[in-house]
Structure 1
């Protein structure tokens, strides 16, 4: 076996390892809390103006009978037909998908 063939194999293996490592890191990252809040606010803005909003920047565990995931908790308030409406939500930290929405 030539040294150049051996080095080519080693470099190919290292490159493949880096690509796999980067892919795994990207999959394990959470969506930012600000991004989640902005998405939810945009959805609410379709029905009218928002009075206020908040989100907890730290994730917490959430279980919905079968599925367990980390979520961001937050809330939105708005005035609709002269009445204050308040909603609390839980959004999946990995995807930003709302998994719980409760009118408070």
Structure 2
């Protein structure tokens, strides 16, 4: 195999990878789950320090009585006045906005 053929193949592969990456970002417009969790944690940290947090990386359907939207589900644990508080949340996967917050 000639060096020229190898370089053409490598360039073609790189171009295809870039095109596929750009197309997949347009097809799946979801906010990354870790960014959603970081935003929720930042809001909780304004009130008091948090002890733990988690989020499911796969989306789940959330039905609010009118429509169904894809959400990430997660939770936050913190100490408040000497008591452990646990909150479960559902955040819109497209915008990152919390649509449900429940104290467990």
Equivalence for 2:67: 67
Aligned-partner Cα distance in 1 for 2:29–2:38? 18
- TM-score between both structures, scaled by the size of structure 2: 0.74
CA shift, 1:25, in A, is 1.9
How many residue pairs get matched?
A: 82
Equivalence for 2:98: 98
Aligned-partner Cα distance in 2 for 1:61–1:99? 12
Aligned-partner Cα distance in 1 for 2:54–2:26? 28
Correspondences of 1:11-22 after superposition (within 5 Å): none
Equivalence for 1:15: none
Aligned-partner Cα distance in 2 for 1:67–1:36? 21
Correspondences of 1:1-104 after superposition (within 5 Å): 25=26, 28-104=28-104
After superposition, the CA RMSD in angstroms is: 1.7
Gaps of 5+ in 2: 1-22
- TM-score between both structures, scaled by the size of structure 1: 0.74
Which one has a bigger Cα radius of gyration?
Answer: 1
